[in-house]
Amino acid sequence: MCGIIGYVGDKQAAPILLEGLSKLEYRGYDSAGIAVFSEGKIEVKKSRGRLSVLSELTDGGKAVIGNVGIGHTRWATHGEPSDVNSHPHLSSSGRFAVVHNGIIENYIPLKKKLIDKGIKFISETDTEVIAHLFEYYYNGNMIETMSKVIERVDGSYALGILAVDHPDEFIAVRKASPLIVGLGDGENFVASDVTAILNHTRDIYYLEDDEIVVLKKDSVKVYNIDGEEIKKEQFTVNWDISAAEKGGYEHFMMKEIEEQPKALSETINPRIQNGRIVLDNISLTGDDISRINKIYIIACGSAYHVGVVGKYVIEKMCRIPVETIIASEFRYCDPIVTENDLAIIISQSGETADTLAALKEAKAKGARTIGIVNVVGSSIANASDDVLYTWAGPEIAVATTKAYSTQLSVIYMLSVYMADKLGRLSNAEYDKLVSEIKKLPDYVAQILKSKDQVQFLASKFFNSHSIFFIGRNLDYAVSLEGSLKLKEISYIHSEAYAAGELKHGTISLIEEGTLVVALATNDELFDKTVSNIKEVKARGAVVVGVTKESQQHKSDCGDYIIELPGTESVFMPSLAVIPLQLFGYYVASLKGCDIDKPRNLAKSVTVE
């Protein structure tokens, strides 16, 4: 989704803004622009298309002189991608420039009111109302004006605003859209995420909803909506700059697939101390857990697929009913939530609008909430009662891989922890589960050594029109993720089905040569899945089977077999997903797709 960067300092702003925007490209965008104070006025350069167009227009930023500016990459919501709809937007007099991430839900009545007052709009965006409102309410005091504006708008926003009367500063605010403040030496920044400013500073403030920040080159002051100054805690980001660079890989996605053993180690190792699972500062006592009536796991997309695994794992280990639900469904179904329920909210970005809203809904209804989040200080992390961070580092490719894997590992640890507190595990069972969780990074590293086989399979099937993924229980949960990985980056139609469900309709789609990827990693269900494999083969399907190396009858599960090391059945999703990620990647690569930035997608979905 949209990306924002702001700079104030002694350096020329435009090249820094362009560099920051290039780091935010991964979020997804269709146009870009900058506004810089230049010789007593605000100079705006913007255009539809890739950042390279804007860079050409400004000679890499060199052609725009000035030391204070804001920049934006836009992912169109209101109005098509076009030069005029691109941000920044100017007020009628050109004295104010605005960049915005989010959606102003009441922009229509606001626009009407402003039009009635004679103000002319030139774009179709919701954002333009902010520029005009700011001018309308401006009384010389930037903080008071900002407060007035945000009191009148509904929806989500991260805003950066320049005002001609204040050429040494800019002002920003956020609500339900990400924005962090970067604290430099004689220069300061705002950005949608830390990757945009890591080359300049690691010291940051996380802004809370409706905190207003005024940035000058030597000072950063944060205010609440009443204009009272607030003291903020400073954080230091420990992400390595190289984590946000491609480092020789052709795509971030492959780099991130390869980073999974490290990401898993960093997520798991600190939480296993002397053979015991330690969940950061979360204290869920045995009593707390035994009082849990129901667990909701709430998320979107791949994070939801982690939740589907979580349902099987937690129900099996803890015998507590779990409902995994898509956040956008949860928030509007008037869910039956009680004070004895636990809501586990999963999100890489920590900013997904639907997930955040669902979290608030669960909390409002009395549930205790635990966030499983990758981005420190993000909205979901801030709003959850407790947070378990996935230490995957920055994930840049739109298609998630390492965040998915680390989320799974946190679900496993949480589940074993709860099962133990409930007294459901013998010492031997507990030790075995913990030791297998510890081995996950090694298993994944081992699977990554056989990439060639998956690449070969991709070369055989990359011209398919439609590919099905099937499995039972946990294998079904992983099928959902394998299918999503493939379709989102290769644009091949794909569906995931619970293997036993195929014959209730979908099997009619199987024809001669249709590829079915069948997951059969669970020994207890192996024969059942093999029956389903036989059914599709009898209708002409070609089957790639994914099973354990140790499975005696592995040759029954496909025409081509991908063998995995064996671990506890409940943890097999962590292993089975790896070849599926690789398959999606290689198919997309052979089709020449834009792997890291698939069409129409954004990394962080900050609008509903």
Binding site for ligand F6R (CB under 6 A): 300-303, 347-349, 352, 355, 399-400, 484, 488, 604-605
CB of 223 to ligand F6R, least distance (A): 29
Question: Nearest approach, Cβ of 378 to ligand F6R (angstroms)?
Answer: 9
Stated as kind and residue range, the H or E segment containing 70 is strand 68-74
Q: How far is the CB of 134 from ligand F6R (least distance, A)?
A: 30
If you ran DSSP here, which 8-state letter would residue 176 be given? B
CA dihedral (7, 13, 16, 17) in degrees, to 10, reads 70
**32 — phi, psi (to 5°)?**
-150, 155
CB of 3 to ligand F6R, least distance (A): 15
Minimum CB distance to ligand F6R, residue 15 (Å): 30
At closest approach, how far in Å is the CB of 546 from ligand F6R? 19
Contact at 8 Å (CB) between 213 and 172? yes
Residue 145 or 400 with smaller CB distance to ligand F6R: 400
Residue 353 tokens read as: 């609008």
The token duo for 275 is 């053979």
Strand partners, 7: 69, 189
Beta strand pairing status for 180-183 and 188-191? antiparallel
Q: Which residue, 91 or 374, is less far from ligand F6R as judged by CB?
A: 374
Quote the least distance from Cβ 390 to ligand F6R, whole Å: 10
Nearer to ligand F6R, 399 or 541 (CB): 399
Q: How many other CB atoms are there within 10 angstroms of residue 542's CB atom?
A: 18
Please state, in angstroms and as integers, the Cα–Cα distance from residue 608 to each residue in 3, 20, 374, following that order. Answer: 16, 25, 20
For ligand F6R, give the closer residue by CB, 177 or 302. 302
**Smaller CB separation from ligand F6R, 314 or 326:** 326
* Angstrom distance (rounded) from CA 457 to CA 411: 31
The yes-or-no answer on residue 300 being catalytic is no
Radius of gyration of the chain from Cα atoms? 25
Going by C-alpha positions, the residue among 350, 370, 351 that lies closest to residue 362 is 370
Task: Record the tokens describing residue 300, joined without a space.
Answer: 């979107």
> Residues with Cβ < 8 Å from 417, sequence gap 6 or more?
277, 279, 284
Instruction: Rank residues 3 and 167 by Cβ distance to ligand F6R and give the closer one.
Output: 3
Residue 314 or 486 having the CB closest to ligand F6R: 486
**Gap between the Cα atoms of 127 and 129, Å rounded:** 5
Give yes or no for a contact between 35 and 70, defined as CB atoms under 8 angstroms apart: yes
DSSP 119: P
> How far apart, in whole angstroms, are the C-alpha atoms of residue 239 and residue 97?
32
Catalytic site includes residue 2: yes
Candidates 2, 318, 557, 593; catalytic one:
2
Bridge-based pairing state of the strands 515-520 and 542-548: parallel
Q: 203 is written with which tokens?
A: 């010291």
User: Cα separation of 320 and 286, whole Å?
Assistant: 13
How is residue 295 annotated by DSSP? E
Residue number with CB closer to ligand F6R (301 or 310): 301
What are the strands, taking DSSP E only, across 418-536?
Answer: 466-471, 493-498, 515-520
Q: Which is nearer to ligand F6R, 188 or 355 (CB)?
A: 355
Pairing relation of β-strands 386-389 and 466-471? Answer: unpaired
Give me the least distance between CB of 302 and ligand F6R, in Å please. 3
Whether residue 397 contacts residue 256, with contact meaning beta carbons closer than 8 Å, is answered with yes
The closest residue (CB) to ligand F6R is: 301
> What's the token pair of residue 73?
């990459």
CA 250/CA 467 separation, integer angstroms: 25
E strand or H helix at 253: helix 252-258
Residues 6+ apart with CB under 8 A from 534: none
Active-site residues: which are they? 2, 603
